[in-house]
Amino acid sequence: MESAIFIPFFLPPVSTVIAFSLLFSTNGLLSRLGIHIPILYTMWAILVAHAFYNSPIFVKYIGAALRTIPPALEEAALCEGAGRWARFWRIEGPLVLPAAAKAFFLCFAYSFMSFAVVLNLGGLQYSTLEVAIAGALRGQFDFSRALTYAIAQFGCLFLLNALLSLIPEVSTGGAPLSLSRERPLRLTTVSSALYAAFEYGIVLIGLLGLCYDFRLGAFSLEPFLRLFSADFNRRFPVIRSLINTFGVASLAAIGAVLAAFLFGKARGNWAQRVILPTLGVSSAFLAMALLYLHILYRLPLFLLLTLGYLLSTLAVAYALMRPMVRNFPLHWVESAKIDGASRLQVFRSIELPLLFPVFAAVFFQVFAIVFGEFTLPYTMQIRDYLPLASVVNYAMDAQRYYRESAAFSGMNTAIVGALFLVSNALIQRRRVI
């Protein structure tokens, strides 16, 4: 259940924006229920959307850190008569702090580079560097301004990454705990329930768009079925976009997994120093570089986009893969080498079968990120050449095909959710191994 809290993190940004407008617009669901929360185009909308997206990072990091606190420490504190607060301040707090700091930095970085949410919900006053870069490149074609922003963004995140690497890894040596033996405070239970309702409420609204017409207030599969009709596809290439998105996302995810595996095996910390800062590379700027390669050398967009996604997801794939690859029992590999196995044979017969669940899990997570990614195809404006699901969905909404747009968005949410569950099941299998 806890790992399912990560689903919102992988939700396509366009789907989130659509879910927000289904909920909060003046004709939205909440308004119809008599609850007026006019937050669209304000700082509140941006904050709520980013909290929705990135808070699962905290749940994951802090949850994992809490479980590694040795029970002996807690028991000793209990014997000494320490209450909940004393234990929080002296044991849990300090031990969880490095994980919380990491989550904080990651959350900061993702919000700092946010694009689709700020573009659509930011309104008049609010922008991120990424939105400004895309605006400068798409609208006025002010290359030098875009470059200045891109360098500023990269610099900030490079510094952030350097700070992040200063945080020590805290190892308490404790085995993961399955359950707390104490009953949680009522406040904790209530706030956890509210948090889950917030996260899943938005996911559910997005999913419901698949079969529920929010404007008419009735269930209907008609908009969903229309997505696959020939007439509709002439204007919005839904089927082509799904095929392209599956193709690009699969190839990019395979590439990212293999590259992350190879870098993960590298000795020393150089790979980490090289790869993690790529998180700060502006996607809008990368998009323009790829488009220019297409214009100058007529390189196929499919290939360029796949490469672009491989580059932009490598850091995530590496971060997910590294701990698993590092902990891989080297003596098996060495024994095989002594027996004369080539690198390829070692990979095929030892590493691949044993790490397969890890490969598959990372593959699905990268696939889900690429599936919903919006910045690259939006900035490149390639919808008529190589339609991808995210931009086709966005175009439907922009051209007032709200019902179809909500249905498509719901379907994409369902696809990402299903991918996440598959990936999670594979990770569970790895734990068994």
Residues making contact with another protein (CB under 8 A): 21, 25-27, 40-41, 119, 123-125, 127, 135, 137-141, 231, 234-235, 291-292, 295-296, 298, 300, 302-303, 381, 383-385, 395, 397-400, 402
Of 9 and 401, which CB lies nearer to another protein in the complex structure?
Answer: 401
C-alpha distances out from residue 2 to 98, 103, 313, 387, Å: 20, 16, 24, 35
Q: Which of 423, 431, 430, 428 is nearest to 6 (CA)?
A: 423
| Smallest distance from another protein to CB 235, Å | 6
Q: What angle do CA 92, 95, 99 make, to 5 degrees?
A: 115
User: How many Cα atoms within 13 Å fall on the side-chain side of residue 367?
Assistant: 23
Instruction: Give the residue with the Cβ less far from another protein, 371 or 394.
Output: 394
Q: Shortest gap between Cβ of 76 and another protein (angstroms)?
A: 56
Measured between alpha carbons, how far is 431 from 433 in angstroms, rounded to an integer? 5
Is the Cβ–Cβ distance between 6 and 56 less than 8 Å?
yes
344 exposure class (CB count in 10 Å sphere: 0-12, 13-18, 19+): exposed
CB nearer another protein, residue 187 or residue 296? 296
* Cβ at position 249, least distance to another protein in Å: 16
Task: Identify which of 420, 421, 423, 398 has the alpha carbon closest to the alpha carbon of residue 409.
Answer: 398
Q: Taking the mean position of all CA atoms in its chain, how far away is CA 269?
A: 25
Joined together, the tokens standing for residue 134 give 């895309």
Q: Which is nearer to another protein, 40 or 196 (CB)?
A: 40
Minimum distance of another protein from residue 31's CB (angstroms): 9
- Tokens standing for 387? 């339609």
Closest separation in Å from C-beta 267 to another protein: 28
Q: How far is the CB of 152 from another protein (least distance, A)?
A: 16
Question: What's the min distance (Å) between Cβ of 346 and another protein?
Answer: 17
CA distances from 208 to 15, 205, 404 (A): 11, 5, 12
Nearer to another protein, 199 or 404 (CB): 404
Pick 302 or 328: Cβ nearer another protein: 302
In the bound complex, what is the minimum distance in angstroms from residue 216's beta carbon to another protein? 14
If the CB atoms of residues 56 and 209 are measured against another protein, the closer one turns out to be 209
As measured in angstroms, the least distance from the Cβ of 287 to another protein is 12
- Nearer Cβ to another protein (136/321): 136
CB nearer to another protein: pick between 25 and 424: 25
Torsion of CA 289, 291, 296, 301, to 10 degrees: 120
For residue 132, the minimal CB distance to another protein (Å) is 10
Closer to another protein by CB, 272 or 306: give it: 306
Residue 403 beta carbon to another protein: minimum distance, rounded to whole angstroms:
12
Residue 227, token pair as written in the block: 């997505």
Q: Which residue has the tokens 């997801």?
A: 313
Listing DSSP states for 164-226 in one string gives HHHSPPP---PPPPSS-SSPPPHHHHHHHHHHHHHHHHHHHHHHHTTTEETTTTEE-SHHHHH
Q: To 10 degrees, the CA torsion angle through 327, 330, 332, 335?
A: 180
| AA identity, residue 415 | I
CA 360 to chain centroid = 16
Could you say which DSSP state residue 26 is in? T
Closer to another protein by CB, 154 or 401: give it.
401
Q: What is the CA radius of gyration of the chain?
A: 23
